[in-house]
């Protein structure tokens, strides 16, 4: 949530900041702003709306040439969307941008009011600017370190002090900041996508550390003023991965990138004899030996991946698995001990609730393993073990390639654990792995449904409600299909276990109600067909998805996707692609902002 960028060096800061904000816009897009040093001090330009509105305002401003500045794209938490509430915020000598939430801002505001200091905005961020200014007596490091003692909550700040031109001070507690120094200067941002134009090498600013950026170097200090050298990380993707590359939207590009994302995630983890090998990830195969319970915890789409993981783990390992919504789990006093394996799943690796769930698991001495896409992110760093999805940057707010890559990691874990526990023989495991490898060409084929999905979704664009139904793995996938459609098309939908419909919800199915019915699982296929008949009898418009070209009575559906045939366990991969395409085109037909849907933002770093 919220994108931050800071640059000081030899380049025109205006371009670096605006381009950086454009690449970070998926993190929040209700307002944007920049502040920069000019010959006569710090100037700020900010506005509600997207970065394109900021660009217009900047272009219209009197010409300036600055080589040092900060920029912010906002997802409002405290205070509505207005020019005044947009960042940067200035108070006295301090101008800052912030990602996170200052939880005790009201107390701080009261204390500052007692000193005769009042904010002009309704934001928690301005209170932070006021506090730092209040503590500032010419030594920025000292003021920032002092501020840590007062501030509660999560924050990443980039701060300009009016009497320290050309220098950016950054402080991190909870919210991410990554930085690099390159030939042309020093740059810091919330996410690597804003840095990739300048460097593939970067570091993550450690928690409660301060980075001081000058044009010649970045110096990182710990809380005791000791200079530290954070570990350098390297990304294996380039600028083109963070651009649309000819696609009209990032979401469509990312849907089409799934074969590559899965190849990169699976292939390096297959050893001779087609067996899973997670040793390159530092996962000892003994990790599962003492485990008698698995808890998967995550949010949104990542949690839906967990629902599929549960089915696979329980089927193969015969160990009880629960899937917990991280924001619930963290407050439920869950039962865990050192025989529990807690798996957290997160694309960004920064989701506040998932991170809190992980920290809670650690306090109970559970073993922790995370499935994460962003290297060096908080969840990855704090877990005992990490399995990275190599999906590349995911920029559309709606998660697509990260989801299927998360599924592939869960399958790899399930197979590898089953082998270790002696639940499958090497021969059986190798057969399962063969199935996993087959999903890559199958997804390539499923992507050719693009045109059909575009056509069929015209029938969804005007509906108000719809249902996704399925059983077993198909029900778990229905949950994902439903959130995907809701978040980008704003059409209400529900995912239902098909057998449960008649216990209440069937009353909502009337003439023309669209029902997307997943029938890919052979053990419940005939039951599923009966459930489809039930909705059909009430007039539902049925979009049927099957695994392979099964013979099915054509009177029970209006439209049919016959997926390339895979063994049942792997059908969620191809079916997910069809659901993603249906959601995508429904949003396009409704003329909506597919990549940046209203009220949402990627990377939910606040609770």
> CA-CA distance, 532 to 552, in Å (whole number)?
11
Q: Which of 99, 604, 605, 606 binds ligand F6R (CB under 6 A)?
A: 604
Whole-number Cα distances in Å, 362 to 333, 369, 531, 548: 13, 11, 43, 44
| Known catalytic residue at 2 | yes
In the complex with ligand F6R, the residue whose CB is nearer, 90 or 377, is 377
**C-alpha 171: how far from chain center:** 23
| Known catalytic residue at 602 | yes
Peptide bond before 88: cis, by omega within 30 degrees of 0? Answer: yes
CB-closest chain residue to ligand F6R: 300
Binding range to ligand F6R, per CB under 6 A, among 1-9, 228-236, 347-355, 514-522: 347-355
Percentages helix, strand, coil for the chain (3-state, rounded to 5) are 40, 25, 35
In the complex with ligand F6R, the residue whose CB is nearer, 55 or 304, is 304
- Asked if residue 429 binds ligand F6R (CB under 6 A), the reply is no
> Residue 565 CB: number of other CB atoms within 10 A?
18
What SS3 class is residue 303?
A: helix
Region for residue 428 given its phi and psi (left: phi exceeds 0; alpha: psi -120 to 50; beta: otherwise) = alpha
Q: Which of 73, 354, 378, 596 binds ligand F6R (CB under 6 A)?
A: 354
| Least distance in angstroms from the C-beta of 238 to ligand F6R | 22
Q: Which of 5, 131, 151, 398 binds ligand F6R (CB under 6 A)?
A: 398
Q: Tokens 């740059």: give the residue.
A: 187
Q: Which of 123, 347, 378, 416 binds ligand F6R (CB under 6 A)?
A: 347
> CA-CA distance, 190 to 2, in Å (whole number)?
8
Subset of 302-321 contacting ligand F6R (CB under 6 A): 302
- Asked if residue 605 binds ligand F6R (CB under 6 A), the reply is no
In the complex with ligand F6R, the residue whose CB is nearer, 154 or 398, is 398
In the complex with ligand F6R, the residue whose CB is nearer, 171 or 372, is 372
Cα-trace Rg, the chain: 25
Q: Tokens 């991969």: give the residue.
A: 573
| Least distance in angstroms from the C-beta of 488 to ligand F6R | 8
- Asked if residue 377 binds ligand F6R (CB under 6 A), the reply is no
Binding range to ligand F6R, per CB under 6 A, among 86-94, 213-221, 341-349, 545-553: 341-349
> CA-CA distance, 524 to 106, in Å (whole number)?
55
Binding range to ligand F6R, per CB under 6 A, among 129-137, 187-195, 286-294, 298-306: 298-306
| Least distance in angstroms from the C-beta of 507 to ligand F6R | 29
Query: Catalytic residue among 93, 367, 486, 602, which?
Result: 602
In order, the DSSP letters of 151-198 are --EEEEEEEEETTSTT-EEEEEEBS--EEEEETTEEEEESSGGGTTTT
Query: Catalytic residue among 2, 68, 170, 299, which?
Result: 2
Residue 472 is given by DSSP the state: T
Q: Which of 124, 126, 432, 487 binds ligand F6R (CB under 6 A)?
A: 487
> CA-CA distance, 198 to 181, in Å (whole number)?
9
| Least distance in angstroms from the C-beta of 307 to ligand F6R | 13
- Asked if residue 521 binds ligand F6R (CB under 6 A), the reply is no
> CA-CA distance, 481 to 483, in Å (whole number)?
6
- Asked if residue 603 binds ligand F6R (CB under 6 A), the reply is yes
| Least distance in angstroms from the C-beta of 385 to ligand F6R | 17
> CA-CA distance, 606 to 355, in Å (whole number)?
11
| Least distance in angstroms from the C-beta of 498 to ligand F6R | 23
Beta bridge partners of 64: none
In the complex with ligand F6R, the residue whose CB is nearer, 347 or 521, is 347
Q: Which of 8, 186, 351, 513 binds ligand F6R (CB under 6 A)?
A: 351
> CA-CA distance, 341 to 291, in Å (whole number)?
6
Structure tokens that stand for 350 in this block: 């920064």
Binding range to ligand F6R, per CB under 6 A, among 227-235, 345-353, 408-416, 528-536: 345-353
Binding range to ligand F6R, per CB under 6 A, among 129-137, 293-301, 360-368, 517-525: 293-301
3-state secondary structure 71-86: EEEECCCCCCCCCCCC
Q: Which of 520, 266, 569, 253 is nearest to 400 (CA)?
A: 253
Binding range to ligand F6R, per CB under 6 A, among 191-199, 282-290, 340-348, 549-557: 340-348
Work out whether the CA dihedral 114, 116, 119, 124 comes out positive or negative: negative
| Least distance in angstroms from the C-beta of 232 to ligand F6R | 24
Number of residues in contact with ligand F6R, rule: CB under 6 A? 15
Which backbone phi and psi does 422 adopt, to 5 degrees?
70, 20
Whole-number Cα distances in Å, 204 to 224, 375, 484: 19, 9, 31
In order, the DSSP letters of 37-72 are EETTEEEEEEEES-HHHHHHHHHHSPP---SEEEEE
Binding range to ligand F6R, per CB under 6 A, among 21-29, 143-151, 297-305, 492-500: 297-305
Q: Which of 299, 460, 476, 529 binds ligand F6R (CB under 6 A)?
A: 299
From residue 467 to residue 486, the character string flagging contacts with ligand F6R as x (rule: CB under 6 A) and all else as - is: ----------------x---
Q: Which of 66, 123, 340, 346 binds ligand F6R (CB under 6 A)?
A: 346
Are 236 and 212 contacting, i.e. CB atoms less than 8 angstroms apart? no
In the complex with ligand F6R, the residue whose CB is nearer, 357 or 509, is 357
| Least distance in angstroms from the C-beta of 265 to ligand F6R | 15
Decide the pairing of beta strands 94-102 and 89-91. Answer: antiparallel
Which backbone phi and psi does 33 adopt, to 5 degrees?
-165, 160
- Asked if residue 399 binds ligand F6R (CB under 6 A), the reply is yes
| Least distance in angstroms from the C-beta of 483 to ligand F6R | 6
- Asked if residue 300 binds ligand F6R (CB under 6 A), the reply is yes
Binding site for ligand F6R (CB under 6 A): 299-302, 346-348, 351, 354, 398-399, 483, 487, 603-604
Residues that are catalytic: 2, 602
């Amino acid at each position: 949530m919220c994108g931050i960028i800071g640059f000081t060096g030899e380049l025109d800061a205006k371009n670096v900041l605006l381009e950086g904000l454009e690449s970070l816009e998926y993190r929040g897009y209700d307002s944007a702003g920049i502040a920069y040093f000019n010959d006569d001090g710090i100037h700020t330009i900010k506005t509600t709306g997207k970065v394109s509105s900021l660009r217009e305002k900047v272009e219209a401003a009197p010409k300036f040439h600055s080589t040092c500045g900060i920029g912010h794209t906002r997802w409002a938490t405290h205070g509505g969307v207005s020019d005044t509430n947009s960042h940067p915020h200035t108070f006295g000598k301090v101008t800052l941008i912030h990602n996170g939430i200052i939880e005790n801002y009201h107390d701080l505001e009261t204390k500052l009011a007692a000193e005769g200091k009042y904010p002009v905005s309704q934001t928690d961020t301005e209170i932070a600017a006021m506090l730092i200014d209040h503590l500032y007596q010419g030594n920025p490091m000292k003021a920032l370190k002092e501020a840590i003692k007062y501030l509660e909550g999560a924050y990443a700040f980039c701060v300009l002090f009016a009497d320290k031109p050309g220098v950016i001070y950054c402080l991190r507690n909870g919210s991410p900041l990554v930085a690099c120094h390159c030939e042309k200067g020093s740059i810091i941002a919330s996410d690597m996508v804003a840095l990739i134009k300048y460097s593939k090498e970067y570091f993550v600013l450690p928690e409660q550390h301060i980075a001081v950026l000058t044009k010649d170097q970045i110096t990182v200090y710990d809380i005791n003023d000791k200079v530290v050298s954070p570990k350098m990380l390297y990304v294996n993707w380039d600028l083109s991965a963070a651009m649309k590359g000819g696609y009209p939207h990032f979401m469509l590009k990312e849907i089409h990138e799934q074969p590559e994302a899965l190849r990169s995630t699976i292939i390096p983890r297959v050893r001779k004899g087609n067996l899973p090998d997670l040793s390159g990830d530092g996962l000892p195969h003994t990790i599962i030996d003492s485990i008698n319970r698995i808890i998967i915890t995550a949010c949104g789409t990542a949690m839906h991946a967990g629902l599929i993981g549960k089915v696979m783990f329980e089927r193969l390992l015969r160990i009880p698995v629960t899937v917990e919504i991280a924001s619930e789990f963290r407050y439920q006093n869950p039962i865990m001990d050192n025989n529990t394996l807690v798996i957290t799943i997160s694309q960004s690796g920064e989701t506040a609730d998932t991170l809190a769930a992980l920290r809670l698991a650690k306090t109970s001495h559970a073993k922790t393993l995370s499935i994460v896409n962003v290297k060096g992110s908080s969840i990855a760093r704090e877990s005992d073990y990490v399995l990275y999805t190599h999906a590349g940057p995911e920029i559309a707010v709606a998660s697509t390639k990260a989801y299927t890559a998360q599924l592939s990691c869960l399958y790899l874990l399930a197979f590898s654990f089953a082998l270790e526990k002696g639940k499958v023989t090497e021969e059986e495991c190798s057969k399962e792995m063969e199935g996993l490898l087959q999903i890559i060409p199958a997804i390539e084929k499923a992507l050719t449904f693009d045109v059909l999905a575009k056509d069929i979704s015209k029938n969804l664009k005007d509906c108000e409600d719809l249902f996704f139904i399925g059983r077993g793995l198909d029900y778990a996938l229905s949950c994902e299909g439903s959130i995907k459609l809701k978040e980008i098309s704003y059409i209400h939908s529900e995912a239902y276990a098909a057998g449960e419909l008649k216990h209440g919800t069937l009353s909502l199915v009337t003439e023309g109600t669209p029902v997307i019915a997943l029938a890919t699982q052979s053990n419940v296929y005939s039951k599923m067909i009966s459930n489809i008949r039930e909705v059909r009898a009430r007039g539902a418009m049925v979009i049927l998805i099957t695994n392979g070209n099964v013979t099915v009575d054509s009177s029970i559906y209006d439209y049919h996707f016959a997926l390339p045939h895979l063994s049942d366990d792997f059908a969620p991969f191809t079916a997910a692609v069809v659901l993603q395409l249906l959601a995508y085109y429904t949003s396009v037909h409704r003329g909506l902002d597919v990549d940046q849907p209203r009220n949402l933002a990627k990377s939910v770093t606040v609770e």
